[in-house]
Structure 1
Amino acid sequence: MKVLIAGGAGFIGSTIASACLDAGITPVILDNLSTGRAEFAADRIFYQGDIADRRLIDRIFAEHPDIEAAVHCAALIVVPDSVAHPLSYYRENVGKSVEFVDALVGNGCDRLLFSSSAAIYQPGEDFAVDESSPVAATSPYGRSKAMVEQVLQDSARAYPLHVISLRYFNPVGADPKMRTGLQLARPTHVLGKMIEAARTGSTFQLTGADWPTRDGSGIRDYVHVWDLARAHVEALRRFDTILPTEHGERYQVINLGTGDGTTVRELLAAFHAVLGRPIPTAVSDRRPGDSAGTYTRSERARQLLGWEPTLSLRDGIRHSLQWDELRDQVLGGDADPHLLPVGATGR
């Protein structure tokens, strides 16, 4: 089996590609390297370019007519940046996704896995959600994901296209074999900020301590990136079972999380335990676009994919720390790419 992975040189996309290779699935990587890394595509079939470049995508399918499915991981993902630069997020995440899907349909690719996000949900009173929970994103990033889901649902009704939207919760960790990990030296997510504080001696900012949670800090569902990658492999293997052509059903959504809600203070305690020492911490204001957070209560991933998480939060912290030690050797320790590149980024 051969699959096209858009954004396949980014953090999540490259991990999906590794899981595919381990499972005997050949990934074809498309990434413009605006935040993705060429090192993550080494020894893999790789095309450098944008998801909105129709000529390039036509060429990929001409050279690989045996591609059976596509995985769409290309997106801008930083919530505060989306608040500051909403047009960039709608252009990159929504506009270019429309062009990409049009190219897939035009080339006869009728199976698509979409990297969506739990950021689209409106949390319930207990912060738990399932696939039927209301959609009410609090940031342009989250709204861009919800918009693309609507585009895909409408497209699946109109064209010979079958779509599974995988709604990620909060990825942590790295490939346990340390082939890939978070490519950014200055991360924007909470665990990355903790690691940065541990490495540099800076103070970790706990953003928001007045949420209506059990300890006032935000609550999240931290799922190991390798478990996420395994879920994609299972979705690719079971695509025609999940969306059988003869039944006419063409669109499905699946939450990918652990089912455990962990507050930021609880994550910090787990980080201290794995690190073996505390890091300096201060409480600061909420970030623009933040929400209290969610965790999944869904059983759909287990029922449809036969998938359950196998790696713990502490595994994710440990693998993240291990990758942080290796990152500069693998990637050269260069400066971060700009947070708002032109073109689709690798997740």
Structure 2
Amino acid sequence: MKVLVTGGAGFIGSTVSSALIDAGHTPVILDNLVTGREAFTAGRIFYRGDIADGALLDQIFAEHPDITATVNCAALIVVPESVAQPLRYYRENVAKTIDFLGHLARNGCRRMVFSSTAALYGASDDFSVDEDSVLEPSSPYARTKVMMEQILADCVATGELDVISLRYFNPIGADPKMRTGLQLRYPSHALGKMIQCWENGDTFQITGVDWPTRDGSGIRDYIHVWDLAAAHVAALEKFDEVMAATPDRYRVMNLGSGEGTTVRELLDAFAAVTGEKLPAVETDPRPGDVVGAFARSRHARALLGWTPRFSVEDGVRHALQWRALDNTTHTS
């Protein structure tokens, strides 16, 4: 199978591409390298450019007429940045993706696996959510994903597309073979901040300590990025089977570990891996922050036969291994 992977030079897209290769498939990567890293495309079919570039998409499909599906990972994803720069997020995540959908339709590529997010869910009493839970996006980033899911559903209704929308929870870790990992040196998520503080001898900030969780800190579902990538491969390999079980041809699936981990518990996991406790201080929530949630991933388990393999500690360990390797062998 040959698959177009947009955003394939980023953290998730590059890991999905590695998982596809390991499963005997061929990724064709399209990335504008605004946040991606070209080194992650080494030895792979790569086109540098924008998903809204119709001429480039026509070229890709002309040169690879055997592309049978798309994994769309191209998006800006930083919640506080989206609060500060909403127009940029709506332009990149919505307007350009609409153009991209037109280019796919014109080239007859109707199977899509779409990168969505669990950030669009509202909080539940026990913090667990399934695919039918209430949507309450609290940031421009999350709202771009809600908008795109609705647009995709409308396109599916016309018969132009079939879509599996994967709502990611909180990816951590790296490719266990250390081919790729986080491409940004200073990521905004909790584990990235912990690693940065650990390296620099700084104090970690627990952003928000009055949430209604068991210890007052925010709760997240940390899923290993390789488990996430494996779910994409399963979605592509079982795409037609899933569509046959989906009357409206639009399927939403949560991808999470199924367990909630608070920020304080993530600090404990970090200490268990490093053997030392990271100093921490309590601060106010960041703009756009929410209490968080964890997944009930019933559709992915039932329809894809997918079960996460890696623990939070595995994710911390692989993230640290990648960081040490990246510091010595890669450039940012």
The residue that corresponds to 1:185 in the other structure is 185
Alignment of 1:94-105 (within 5 A): 94-105=94-105
Deviation at 1:278, TM superposition (A): 1.2
Alignment of 1:73-152 (within 5 A): 73-152=73-152
The residue that corresponds to 1:7 in the other structure is 7
The residue that corresponds to 1:48 in the other structure is 48
Would you identify which runs of 4 or more consecutive aligned residues in structure 1 move more than 3 Å? none
**Take 2:156 and 2:165, find their aligned partners in 1: how far apart are those partners?**
12
- Percent same amino acid among aligned pairs? 62
Alignment of 1:220-299 (within 5 A): 220-244=220-244, 249-299=248-298
2:27 is paired with a residue whose SS is: strand
**Take 2:205 and 2:149, find their aligned partners in 1: how far apart are those partners?**
33
Over residues 183-233 of structure 1, what are the superposed CA-to-partner deviations in whole Å (9 max), with x where a residue is unaligned?
111111100000001111111111000001110000000000000000000
Deviation at 1:248, TM superposition (A): 5.1
Over residues 72-126 of structure 1, what are the superposed CA-to-partner deviations in whole Å (9 max), with x where a residue is unaligned?
0011111001111111110000111101111111100010000000001012111
Per the normalisation by structure 2, the TM-score is 0.98
Output the amino acid matched with 1:298.
S
The residue that corresponds to 1:63 in the other structure is 63
**Take 2:61 and 2:86, find their aligned partners in 1: how far apart are those partners?**
32
Over residues 270-300 of structure 1, what are the superposed CA-to-partner deviations in whole Å (9 max), with x where a residue is unaligned?
1011111012211111000000000012311
The residue that corresponds to 1:37 in the other structure is 37
**Take 1:35 and 1:85, find their aligned partners in 2: how far apart are those partners?**
16
Structure showing greater relative contact order (alpha-carbon pairs closer than 8 Å, 6 or more residues apart): 1
Change (3 A) 1:248 1:210: closer
Output the amino acid matched with 1:233.
V
Output the amino acid matched with 2:101.
V
What are structure 2's unaligned runs of at least 5 residues? none
**Take 2:75 and 2:231, find their aligned partners in 1: how far apart are those partners?**
19
**Contact 1:105–1:159 (Cα < 8 Å) also in 2:** no
Output the amino acid matched with 1:9.
A
**Take 1:309 and 1:298, find their aligned partners in 2: how far apart are those partners?**
10
Over residues 39-64 of structure 1, what are the superposed CA-to-partner deviations in whole Å (9 max), with x where a residue is unaligned?
00000000000001011001000000
The residue that corresponds to 2:18 in the other structure is 18
**Take 1:215 and 1:42, find their aligned partners in 2: how far apart are those partners?**
44
**Take 2:247 and 2:287, find their aligned partners in 1: how far apart are those partners?**
41
Output the amino acid matched with 2:40.
F
Per the normalisation by structure 1, the TM-score is 0.94
**Take 1:249 and 1:133, find their aligned partners in 2: how far apart are those partners?**
19
**Contact 1:6–1:13 (Cα < 8 Å) also in 2:** yes
Output the amino acid matched with 2:285.
R
- Between Structure 1 and Structure 2, how many residues are aligned? 332
The residue that corresponds to 1:341 in the other structure is none
Deviation at 1:331, TM superposition (A): 2.4
**Take 1:264 and 1:229, find their aligned partners in 2: how far apart are those partners?**
24
Alignment of 1:260-339 (within 5 A): 260-332=259-331, 334=332
CA RMSD of aligned residues (A): 1.0
**Contact 1:49–1:56 (Cα < 8 Å) also in 2:** yes
**Take 1:149 and 1:248, find their aligned partners in 2: how far apart are those partners?**
17
**Take 1:328 and 1:105, find their aligned partners in 2: how far apart are those partners?**
42
Output the amino acid matched with 2:68.
E
2:192 is paired with a residue whose SS is: helix
**Contact 1:39–1:330 (Cα < 8 Å) also in 2:** no
**Take 2:247 and 2:124, find their aligned partners in 1: how far apart are those partners?**
32
**Contact 1:255–1:298 (Cα < 8 Å) also in 2:** yes
Over residues 318-340 of structure 1, what are the superposed CA-to-partner deviations in whole Å (9 max), with x where a residue is unaligned?
000000101133422x4xxxxxx
The residue that corresponds to 1:196 in the other structure is 196
**Take 2:297 and 2:180, find their aligned partners in 1: how far apart are those partners?**
29
1:215 is aligned to 2:215: yes
What are structure 1's unaligned runs of at least 5 residues? 335-347
**Contact 1:15–1:175 (Cα < 8 Å) also in 2:** yes
**Take 1:74 and 1:120, find their aligned partners in 2: how far apart are those partners?**
18
